[in-house]
Amino acid sequence: MYTKIFRTVIIGAPGSGKGTISELIVKTYGCLHISTGDILRQNIVKNTDLGKKAKQYIADGQLVPDEIVTKTVLARITEVGNKSYILDGFPRNIAQAEALAAREQIDAVITLNIPHDVIIDRVKNRWIHAPSGRVYNIGFHDPKVPGKDDVTGESLTQREDDKPDVVAKRLQLYDELMKPVIAWYEKKGLVATFKGNKTKEIWPRVELFLRDRMNM
């Protein structure tokens, strides 16, 4: 367990493995995983005001408006307090990056660079347990009982935004909006990029990078 506070942002296209790598970071370094997508989907399941506002944007593969997401994520960071975390899905544009920088000092930015054709194949097989954010993938990380969450036994669902036309839109939006965000963090000397087709090849490199940055 790492004892100093270390704040990491993870950036990557839809389906690139941000959630999967974040969970490995959580298990290895004991930090918290803050995923804006998971927070929004949990609110949709609970039918909260936030969930009602976010639902259509997510289903259409569009960004939820900045003021809603930024307020939500900063509130979550306040709740977390002085703890290390990995921030997954935020920032999504320069305005969000600036709002985060005004509030928090980020120690490292991990970017995942996975070919789009690999991503398109992966998300077809993704199943989730929306209330918890647990993610499965047929043939890569299967649930113990087909179609059921390992912990609760509840039914798994597919994400509305994993339909092929929405995935294509999300990939395009990612390329357009995130290149400037990555360049913005590069100027600050924070970025490490990890290229590959498989999480099992990428994770050992991410682990070494973090170990080095944390001076462990």
Q: At what angle do helices 199-213 and 18-29 cross, to 10 degrees?
A: 50
Local structure of 180: helix, strand or coil: helix
Q: Are 39 and 57 in contact (CB under 8 A)?
A: no
By beta carbon distance, the residue nearest ligand G5P is: 37
Instruction: Output 130 or 214, the one with its CB closest to Mg ion.
Output: 130
Nearer to ligand G5P, 40 or 109 (CB): 40
10 Å CB burial of residue 97 (0-12, 13-18, 19+) is buried
Q: Which candidate in 7, 41, 92, 134 is catalytic? A: 92
* Annotated catalytic residue within 18, 41, 122, 134: 18
Rounded least distance, CB 92 to ligand G5P, Å = 4
Q: Is the distance from CB of 192 to CB of 110 less than 8 angstroms?
A: yes
How far apart are CB 124 and ligand G5P at their closest, in Å?
9
Count of residues engaged in binding Mg ion, rule: CB under 5 A: 1
Least Å distance between CB 42 and Mg ion?
A: 13
Whether residue 72 contacts residue 50, with contact meaning beta carbons closer than 8 Å, is answered with yes
- 159 is annotated as an active-site residue: yes
Active site residue 126: yes
Read off the DSSP letter of residue 64: P
Which residue has 């506002």 as its token pair? 53
Residue of 126, 187, 188, 195 marked active site: 126
Our CB check for ligand G5P shows the closer of 81 and 139 to be 139
- CB closer to ligand G5P out of 6 and 161: 161
Print burial letters for 59-77: b (CB count within 10 Å at least 16), e (below 16). eebebbeeebbbebbbebb
β-partners of residue 12 are 112
Q: Which two tokens stand for residue 56?
A: 């259509």
Site of interaction with ligand G5P (CB under 6 A): 12, 14-20, 36-37, 40, 57-58, 61-64, 69, 89-90, 92, 96, 122-123, 126, 135, 137, 140-141, 161, 170, 198-199
> 92 an active-site residue?
yes
Interface with Mg ion includes 19 (CB under 5 A)? yes
Q: Which two tokens stand for residue 93?
A: 């544009």
Tell me which of Mg ion, ligand G5P, none is bound by residue 111, counting a contact when its beta carbon lies within the kind-specific cut-off of 5 to 8 angstroms: none
Instruction: Please give the positions annotated as active site.
Output: 18, 92, 126, 159, 170
